[in-house]
Structures are given as structure tokens and as C-alpha cells.
A and B are shown apart, each in its own frame.
Chain A
Amino acid sequence: NAGVTQTPKFRVLKTGQSMTLLCAQDMNHEYMYWYRQDPGMGLRLIHYSVGEGTTAKGEVPDGYNVSRLKKQNFLLGLESAAPSQTSVYFCASSYSLHPISGANVLTFGAGSRLTVL
């Protein structure tokens, strides 16, 4: 049981390059999320998905696209990377409602550190 796995863990890009971050979960969670973490800014939601084939914008969606073709995978794409997208990216997943607490406890991946030069 791996939980939430993110690849790659580190990546350096040049401005204008594209890349995709992959998130995989093996907990049969309905919901999946992509956050970015910047110093002094906390965790900000980029995009999320409430089920296979669905995606929605979060707080800071500009410059990113996502896809969820399979329930267990959630991909985050940067079509034309900018230095402002230098950040640590966290994927997370959750039940729609936790079977015991009724709340949506987030399980995070280990993070992906992206640097855009």
C-alpha cells in the first residue's frame, strides 16, 4: 500500500518548456488535488478532481492544466513553464466523505520540487 506517489521528485526546466507531474493513489479515493507550496504562502489549491473524468479549478489555476483519465491517476501539466511556477507541488487525495469521521482527511504525496530557470 504505497498511498500517494508523485513523480518526478525533482525537475529543472527552462522558461517555455513543458512538463507533466504524475500523481498516483492506491486507496480508491474519489477526490484528488494538486497544491503548490511557496514560502510564506501556505498551501494553495491549483486544480482538483471529484471523480474520474472530472476536473475543476482551484485558487491558482492559471498556467496549469490537469487530467484524470483514470480514478487512480491525476496529472498536472505545465504547457509553457515560467519562473513564477518555481515551487514545491503536492498531490493529495481523499474520500468524498471519510467512512468513519465523515470528514475529508487529505493524504499527501511526498512532493515534487520544480525549478524554472
Chain B
Amino acid sequence: GENVEQHPSTLSVQEGDSAVIKCTYSDSASNYFPWYKQELGKRPQLIIDIRSNVGEKKDQRIAVTLNKTAKHFSLHITETQPEDSAVYFCAATSNFGNEKLTFGTGTRLTIIP
């Protein structure tokens, strides 16, 4: 089955700096890679996703890049703000099948004012 590794497990950055979270996956058939954000005590929510036919996707201060050859994808947050503090989960699946969605172990991002 799919195995998703996520690094780092914790990350602290100064407000205004950029943050990068990296994930690798094992199944070359995976073609859909969502990122979920979970604020303290809250439920996970989708913040951005990317399909395997695209190398990069941006949404305001958030971007995701995908390298299919190396089987890794990354989340980039620019101009970080206090509200970006949360746990971020990457995930991977094939054929958009959530029943096969495998999550990474999460990255706790702390923005230092």
C-alpha cells in the first residue's frame, strides 16, 4: 500500500518568513495530493490540493509543488501570519479514491510573532 512520509514534524518560523513542509510517497500510481490544515482543537480542513498532471498550484500565500519523478510534494507558505499556526497533513491517493487516501504524520507549524 501507499506510504507517505512527512517532514519536519515540528517547524517554527518568524512571522513574515516562509515555511516549507515536505512529503514523499511510495506508490507511483498516486495522482491526487491534498493538504489539510488542523487548527488547535478543530477539525482538519482542506487548504489546497494538486493532481499529478500539474507541477505547481498556487492560492494566494499557499503553493504546492509536485515532483512525480522523485515522488515528493511540498507545501509552501509565504509571508506567514499567526493564523497559519496549525498542524498540516499531506496525503496521497490514486484515482481520487478517498478510501485509499493515506495521510502523513503531520507537521506542527508555529509562527513566532
Contacts and interface: CB of A to CB of B under 8 A. Distances in A.
Interface of A: 31, 33, 40-45, 48, 50, 56, 58-59, 90, 94, 97, 101-106, 108-111
B98 A108 contact: no
Contact of B43 (A48, A90, A105): A90
B99 A56 contact: yes
Nearest to B98: A104
A42 B106 contact: yes
Contacts of B46: 105-106
Interface of B: 6, 9, 32, 34, 36, 42-46, 49, 51, 89, 93, 96-99, 101-106
B2 to A, nearest CB: 10
A33 B98 CA distance: 9
Contact of A108 (B45, B51, B96, B104): B45
A40 B34 CA distance: 19
Contact of A97 (B36, B43, B96, B101): B96
Contacts of A58: 99
Contacts of A56: 99
B96 A103 contact: yes
Contacts of B103: 42-44
Given A33-B99, A40-B105, 20 more contacts: A33-B98, A41-B105, A42-B6, A42-B106, A45-B99, A48-B99, A50-B99, A56-B99, A90-B43, A94-B98, A103-B32, A103-B34, A103-B49, A103-B96, A104-B96, A104-B98, A105-B34, A105-B49, A109-B43, A111-B43
A42 B4 CA distance: 10
A61 to B, nearest CB: 13
Contacts of B51: 103
B89 to A, nearest CB: 6
